[in-house]
Structure 1
Amino acid sequence: MYTLAKQFAFVFVAILTASFGTAAFAQSAEEQAVLAPIQAMFDGMAKRDAAAIKAPTLPGGTMVLMRDGKPAQMTFEAFADRVGKPGPTQIEERIHDPLVKIDNDLAVVWAPFDFLVDGKVDHCGTDLFNVVRVEGKWMIASVADTGRKNCSAK
């Protein structure tokens, strides 16, 4: 009987741990809505489609790309024009484990990223997105990121 009680307790704790572990990484519908324009921008980048890159952004928004301790600033329009040109390589940006914080119509997303060229990690770092809700729709207001080449192999 004692062994059966121990087994039950072990299974119960395992189920609780699995449930809480999954819930800790689950995203609410609102968090998913905040992440949607970011994924839309990434999809536009992968297609090298300037209009699709700009579509989820707030007009006049800016980017600050930190490279080797130096900021490169540009508007979303300039970024879209640069990345949206046809090219011989396939590009893809992926974020993982995003931290999403929301207060009414303002949200921030902090997420590690990998930038792939032809399927291989070219650089990595952390993305920081400021996202605002305008007329019920989340839009990217600004982006800052770090970028480094010394990425661990994945």
Structure 2
Amino acid sequence: MRLLLLPCLLLAAPAALAQTNAAATPPAETEAVKATVTRFFEGLRKGDSAVVRSTLAPTVVLHTISTRGGNVQVINESPKEFLKAVGTPHKDVWDERISFERVLIDAQLASVWTPYQFYAGATFSHCGYNSFQLVKLPQGWRIAYVIDTRRKDGCK
């Protein structure tokens, strides 16, 4: 019986260690990560591409999951084109309303899970979830990767 228990304990050890590390994250680090994501959306709302750019890592990757036409596709969005779109004057305010559902941090890596609803001005456009991966650079936390889902119903 002891021989069966030992492998189970060894398999459970990494999970327990991961929980300990996550629990040991100082609240100030969690708030710094949230501040970067919040600043990203403030820049989006203001149409200020410089603010948005200040939150991004130099090699940021932007993806969205599309289900247009019934086919699931991962679409790569150009950071340069995204920033251009943000900074180009548009009639309606782009208002992505998020909540922080989960923030996980280990050393210089953070993962953030945020449900959202996107509005163009006062008009609801779509909703879904964002998954952000951030890296802590000498300048602070920066967004290295974003992937999101988009739909019209089933919003949180």
Larger Rg: 1
1:134 corresponds in structure 2 to: 137
TM-fit CA distance, 1:118: 1.2
Q: What is the correspondence of 1:67-82 to structure 2 with a 5 Å cutoff?
A: 67-68=66-67, 69-82=72-85
Is 1:38–2:37 an aligned residue pair? Answer: yes
What is the TM-score of this pair, normalised by structure 1?
0.75
1:93 corresponds in structure 2 to: 96
Secondary structure of residue in 2 paired with 1:130: strand
Structure 2 unpaired stretches of 5+: 1-25
Would you say the 8 A contact 2:100–2:112 is kept in 1? no
Aligned length: 127
Q: What is the correspondence of 1:1-154 to structure 2 with a 5 Å cutoff?
A: 28-68=27-67, 69-135=72-138, 137-152=140-155
What is the percentage of aligned positions where both structures have the same residue?
32
Structure 1 unpaired stretches of 5+: 1-26
Task: Please provide the CA RMSD for this pair.
Answer: 1.8
What is the TM-score of this pair, normalised by structure 2?
0.75
> How far apart, in 2, do the equivalents of 1:71 and 1:136 lie?
30
> How far apart, in 1, do the equivalents of 2:47 and 2:139 lie?
27
Would you say the 8 A contact 1:60–1:75 is kept in 2? no
